[in-house]
Amino acid sequence: MLTKRIIPCLDVKDGRTVKGVNFVNLRDAGDAVELGALYAAQGADELVYLDITATIDGRSTFIELVKRVAQTINIPFTVGGGISSIADVSALLHAGADKVSINSAAVRNPDLINELSLEFGSQCIVVAIDTRYIDIENGKEHIVHTHGGRKPTDLRTIPWAKEVEDRGAGELLLTSMDTDGTKNGFALELTATISGNANIPVIASGGAGEMAHFYDVFTTGKADAGLAASIFHFREIDIPDLKAYLGDRKLPIRLTR
């Protein structure tokens, strides 16, 4: 049975993980490769590496990192952050990334989604959508945001999700800026609406604080995968415990122990 995926996300700056991590058994907690390998060994189903470097030098460092990750780990991983061209994607895939995630560039130039999926195949093109529920002229609406969720666009989230699928995205990474960082749970209703409309997998992100939140997002939220960062980095939730918890509750889960 196709299983629900658990995906830790690692923010990387200048080749190192940014968010403080609390793994005593790691030689170097900032080593993005070592941390990824640990998650893979613990049963993570995929990894996401997000490059938050703003400089050109940082970008080449990131490609080197992608190469080391691909050499080391034997599960799929997605890379994202500042990707805006076919050349960017080509470099990252050739370094060994399995998928790339595009965000702001897709909003700026939606045709890029079509171009990338034709060039590299839909299966490796993830479109990330950062969304926030905000006041608009006639009430409140889910609106796509860019720049790390700070800048609203003119796009409504639900039709935008459908459009990126129609343009050839292979997967959606939906982050609710309303729930992100709250630890109060994923945005269940919005995730369910988008995943229910979509014929491509939806990764839910933002708000995970306890194991039950993953259960909720896979059931009520209809998500195909759940992504989180700090709760894994700070060991508030251990991946093997989380997977056992979900398996005990009869969700299809890849148990590795």
Partner 1 sequence: MKTVIIKYNAGNVQSVMYALDRLGAGYIYTDDVTEITTADKVIFPGVGEASTTMNYLRQTGLDKLIPTLKQPVFGTCVGMQLMCRYSEENDTTCMGIFDVDVKRFPATAGMKVPHMGWNNISDYKTPLTDSIPENAFMYFVHSYAAPVCEYTVATCDYTFPFSAMLHKDNFYAAQFHCEISGNAGQQIIENFLKL
Site residues (vs partner 1, CB under 8 A)? 1-3, 5, 40, 45, 70-71, 74-76, 93-96, 98, 120-124, 170-171, 198-201, 224-225, 254, 256
CB of 168 to partner 1, least distance (A): 12
- Taking the least distance from each CB to partner 1, the nearer of 11 and 45 is 45
* Residue 14 known to be catalytic: no
- Taking the least distance from each CB to partner 1, the nearer of 171 and 216 is 171
* Residue 11 known to be catalytic: yes
CB of 139 to partner 1, least distance (A): 31
Which DSSP string corresponds to the chain? -PPPEEEEEEEEETTEE-S----TT-S-TTBHHHHHHHHHHHT-S-EEEEE---SHHHHHHHHHHHHHHHHH--S-EEEESS--SHHHHHHHHHHT-SEEEE-HHHHH-THHHHHHHHHH-GGGEEEEEEEEEEEETTEEEEEEEETTTTEEEEEEHHHHHHHHHHTT-SEEEEEETTTTTT-S---HHHHHHHHHH-SS-EEEES---SHHHHHHHHHTT--SEEEESHHHHTTSS-HHHHHHHHHHTT-------
- Taking the least distance from each CB to partner 1, the nearer of 24 and 87 is 87
> Among the options 31, 51, 88, 130, which is catalytic?
130
Q: How far is CA 90 from each of CA 85, 94, 125, rounded to the nearest angstrom?
A: 9, 6, 12
CB of 225 to partner 1, least distance (A): 7
CB of 5 to partner 1, least distance (A): 6
- Taking the least distance from each CB to partner 1, the nearer of 37 and 112 is 37
- Taking the least distance from each CB to partner 1, the nearer of 60 and 72 is 72
CB of 245 to partner 1, least distance (A): 17
- Residues catalogued as catalytic: 11, 130
